Chain A
Amino acid sequence: MVRSPEEDRRTAATGAAGQVYEPLVPKDTWQAVLSSMRRRSRSIILFLLLTAAAFLTFVPFAYMLSSSLKRRDEIYSVPVRWIPSELEPLNYVRLFEEIPFARQYLNSAVIAFVVVVSVLFFSSLAGFAFAKYQFRFKNEMFLFVLATMMIPIQVQLVPLYLVVNSLGWLDTYQGVFAPQIMSAFGIFLMRQMMLSIPDEILDAARVDGASEVGIFRHIAIPMTRAGFLVLGLLTVLTSWNDYLWPVIVLRSGDMLTVPLGLAALINVYRVEYGMVLAGSTLAMVPVVAMFVIFNRHFVEGLTSGAVKF
């Protein structure tokens, strides 16, 4: 009987159900060898296809990174020089000298920080209430929150701009983050997380004289750290990469966020691809770092909506 180690592992993993397979293994050894070979070659083909797809996905990043280190004339060389003849940090230097890139980086960080702290706080607060309290109109209120998720940005864009304008908030941080400091999706996600907190723990704390705010701080928050992480990552990612709303609100070079600063480089008289690509590379550093550290949570967070749909 010829079996690949993978199959053995699978049989072992499926346990009792795997036993059903046993009598089905062909008695004829040759046939078994053939089918095992076929299966193996199929998985090799699959592997190669996936590798090719992953390679194609990666090429634009490699191109960005390599061109960000090139002199201007080399960026346009055909065939592409994947490894620049000399590594030039010039584009990076120019980025900091010719536009206020450091300041723009700070702007992005400040806005992302305010948005993420606020979204986490208010989403968990409301999520906790919807998950762990009984009150009148609770279901109606929660349905309303869900319904607000469906409102497309198109219908709000113009009046929102007029609101922010009349508040005198154009070209300010608060103009950017005010419409983003709460999230219906966040409430939905945190409610989901808070549902798993046992009522007994909350009641026990109440008997011990804990206040409701104290319960939220010392029980609900620590017990749903994973939810905080997932929501936090998604919120930072969205805010860091956002373009549409900031470009409406922000004007002056010193107030722009990173994506806006890069876009401004495209729109000026001559496209400075070296600088733009250097900036793009630097813009990706924090999100990629976050992703590498919290890979699993990222995937979980992004797919949580799909499975519960």
Chain B
Amino acid sequence: MNWARLLRRSVPYLFTAPYFIWFGIFGLFPIIYAFYLSLHHQVGFVAERSFVGFQNYIDLVLDERFRHSLWNTTYYGLGSILIILPVALLLALALHSPGLRFKGAFRIAFFLPLLTSSVVVAVIFGLVFDTRYGLLNNYIVEPLGIERISWLQDGNFVIPSLVLMGLWKWTGINSLYYLAGLQNAVKDIEEAARIDGAGHWAVFRYVTFPQIRPVILFTVILAIIGSYNLFAEPYLMLSNSGDRGLMSMVYLFNNAFGFAKFTYASAMGYVLFFIILALSVAQLRIFRVFKD
């Protein structure tokens, strides 16, 4: 075999090699190292590292703040699935309706929040939610005759505030996902159903919905992952709220980079990894059951 041919056959390996090498260093190694760390105990850089087995995982289960952060994350996740996604779907259906004018302009308007850095979102919504000067209390809550709400301090409102902010930020992109799904759906079936006398709801429920179900599944999984990844907004906006709005990502960050508990935070990373994985798999299952 000559050199030229050997070189030619190795081309696809050479082209894909950079990714695998990079992943080895910045992906695979950290994952393995994280597991190693999670079985040890060490605080800071100088302290001695000692093997403790699964002690960190046991501590996590017993850690009330960790459980609280999981509850908050779940609460926020449920809020986004039950509020943001249905609103996004309605928005998509509205944007999809034939004969609507300025469709492009609407799309741009609902897209803008997505371009905004979460730091900027935290800044703006810190002001929107402000008890005394905030837009929400002054323009919506008070005019309705309700007493001012301490959005970011009152334990009952901290997570709903985050969901409200999520509604502002994530409705647009989710409705664009749905819109893409609707535009890909086969129109003939809808037309046929309508001609056969099916009402709007029936057409949606039995014809349109099944066709966009994969997109819905996709957005639900993204919403769950998103709730576990939510960081900058609660970290910056809720710095004075104590643990009332403690999200799992913030708790992990504080343990790792605030208290330098690298081993404990590694174990937490693994637990969160498995929770996210389990939830995604469960989603896939549930949606499959609905299909049958």
Contact = CB atoms under 8 A, between A and B. Distances in A.
B85 interface: no
A155 B38 CA distance: 10
Contacts of A151: 27, 31, 273
A204 to B, nearest CB: 16
Interface in A5-57: 6, 10, 14, 17, 20, 24, 43, 46-47, 49-50, 53-54, 56-57
Interface in A239-281: 240-241, 243-244, 248, 258-260, 262-263, 266-267, 273, 276-277, 280
| Chain B interface size range | 35 or more
Interface string A67-98: 10000000110111000000000000000000
A63 interface: yes
A64 B108 contact: no
Q: Is the interface of B mostly helix, strand, loop or mixed?
A: helix
A262 to B, nearest CB: 5
B4 to A, nearest CB: 10
A182 B21 CA distance: 10
A76 B133 contact: yes
B92 to A, nearest CB: 11
A225 to B, nearest CB: 19
A156 B119 contact: no
Interface string B149-172: 000000000000000000010001
B278 interface: no
Interface stretch (B59-67, B76-84, B120-128): B120-128
| Chain A interface size range | 35 or more
Contact of B30 (A125, A163, A306): A163
B245 interface: no
Contacts of B188: 17
B119 A299 contact: no
Nearest to B11: A212
B6 interface: no
Q: Is the interface of A mostly helix, strand, loop or mixed?
A: helix
A14 B195 CA distance: 14
Nearest to B103: A50
Contacts of A267: 236, 239
B218 interface: yes
Nearest to B32: A159
Given A60-B168, A125-B18, A50 B106 contact: yes
A264 B102 CA distance: 40
B233 to A, nearest CB: 10
Interface string B254-267: 00110000100110
Contact of A10 (B27, B99, B133): B99
A201 interface: no
Contact of A243 (B34, B97, B107, B117): B117
Interface in A167-225: 178-179, 181-182, 184, 187, 212, 216
A244 B257 contact: no
Contacts of A80: 135, 138-139
A57 B228 contact: no
B118 A156 contact: no
A307 B100 contact: no
Contact of A46 (B9, B27, B94, B112): B94
A72 B84 CA distance: 35
Interface string B9-22: 10111011011101
A122 interface: yes
A245 to B, nearest CB: 10
Contact of B252 (A157, A187, A303): A157
B33 interface: yes
Contacts of A58: 109, 112
A161 B256 contact: yes
Given A60-B168, A182-B22, A309-B214, 18 more contacts: A17-B188, A47-B100, A58-B112, A78-B133, A148-B23, A152-B276, A155-B270, A155-B272, A159-B34, A163-B33, A259-B119, A283-B117, A284-B116, A288-B115, A291-B108, A291-B115, A302-B114, A307-B184
14 contacts: A4-B99, A61-B124, A128-B15, A135-B13, A154-B268, A159-B33, A162-B262, A163-B33, A187-B19, A266-B123, A288-B112, A288-B115, A302-B173, A303-B177
Interface of B: 8-9, 11-13, 15-16, 18-20, 22-23, 25-27, 29-31, 33-34, 37, 91, 94-95, 97-101, 104-120, 122-128, 132-133, 135, 138-139, 168, 172-173, 176-177, 179-181, 184, 188, 191, 195, 214-215, 217-219, 225, 228-229, 231-232, 236, 239, 248-249, 252-253, 256-257, 262, 265-266, 268-270, 272-273, 276-277, 280
